[in-house]
């Protein structure tokens, strides 16, 4: 199986996984004029999020040969009801890119060790995608490499795909190769050049012929 993800015509033989979580912070509501009588959940969440920088530095020290380090991203923060009320709750949604061999449960354990203790909790991952890597030296990787070289692809070395994909769920060997860039993916101006589409089609056909013997 070859997945046509936007790899910029590079051969991606591994792909990161994804796990998304809710971080719930509990405070104590009171009137905004006397904040000392309450506990501001948003400010507590802000202090906790400062610990995510230390967490990323920890992740940077563990690198996959094709995928590099895992990453963490804070995407949503919600809390409070009115400007004159100390907020009693704050919810932070974040995602963690997983390397092959990592599980969503690993993330909760790691963050519990990094973040300062307090009135917060992280639930189980509510959105998960498994990481995947093609075994080193697999025939599919070799066939794709040869097809790319014959099609004039300038970079035929193996790479890793930094986003997640469906690679782990096909039940067959998988590589990722396609035109386009993640820089345009999910943007308001998605596009793929016609020349790259032609090149990708040539690579797909040559890989199929090589696989068929």
Q: Which residue, 195, 203, 82, 80, is CA-closest to 140?
A: 203
Confidence of residue 183 (pLDDT cuts 50, 70, 90): confident
Q: What percent of the chain has pLDDT over 90?
A: 86
pTM of the entire predicted model: 0.87
State whether residue 101 is helix, strand or coil: coil
Q: d(Cα 104, Cα 130) in Å, to the nearest integer?
A: 9
C-alpha distances out from residue 202 to 38, 119, 176, 187, Å: 65, 56, 15, 27
Confidence of residue 188 (pLDDT cuts 50, 70, 90): confident
181: left (phi over 0), alpha (psi -120 to 50) or beta: beta
What is the bridge-based pairing of β-strands 89-98 and 72-79? antiparallel
H helices within the chain, ranges in order? 41-60, 104-114, 139-150, 194-211
159 phi, psi to nearest 5 deg = -135, 175
Residue entry with tokens 């409070």:
80
pLDDT of residue 193: 93
- Which of 8-22, 66-80, 102-116, 131-145 has the lowest average pLDDT? 102-116
pLDDT of residue 156: 95
pLDDT of residue 112: 85
Confidence of residue 108 (pLDDT cuts 50, 70, 90): confident
Q: d(Cα 94, Cα 135) in Å, to the nearest integer?
A: 30
Confidence of residue 21 (pLDDT cuts 50, 70, 90): very high
pLDDT digits (tens, 9 = 90+) for 164-180: 999 999 999 999 999 99
In the chain the domains, ranked by start, together with CATH numbers, are 2-15+132-211 (3.40.630.10), 17-129 (3.30.70.360)
């Amino acid at each position: 199986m070859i997945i046509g993800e936007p790899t910029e015509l590079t051969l991606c033989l591994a792909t990161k996984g994804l796990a998304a979580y809710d971080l719930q912070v509990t405070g104590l509501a009171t009137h905004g004029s006397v904040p000392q009588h309450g506990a501001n959940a948003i400010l507590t969440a802000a202090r906790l999020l400062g610990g995510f920088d230390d967490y990323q530095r920890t992740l940077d020290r563990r690198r996959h040969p094709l995928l590099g380090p895992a990453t963490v991203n804070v995407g949503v923060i919600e809390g409070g009801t009115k400007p004159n009320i100390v907020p009693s709750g704050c919810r932070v949604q974040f995602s963690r890119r997983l390397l092959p061999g990592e599980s969503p449960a690993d993330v909760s354990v790691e963050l519990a060790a990094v973040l300062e203790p307090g009135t917060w909790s992280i639930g189980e991952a509510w959105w998960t995608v498994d990481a995947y890597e093609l075994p080193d030296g697999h025939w599919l990787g070799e066939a794709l490499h040869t097809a790319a070289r014959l099609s004039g692809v300038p970079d035929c070395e193996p790479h890793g795909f930094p986003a997640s994909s469906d690679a782990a769920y096909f039940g067959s060997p998988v590589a990722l190769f396609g035109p386009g860039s993640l820089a345009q993916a999910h943007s308001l101006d998605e596009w793929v050049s016609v020349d790259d589409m032609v090149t990708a089609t040539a690579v797909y056909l040559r890989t199929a012929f090589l696989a068929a013997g």
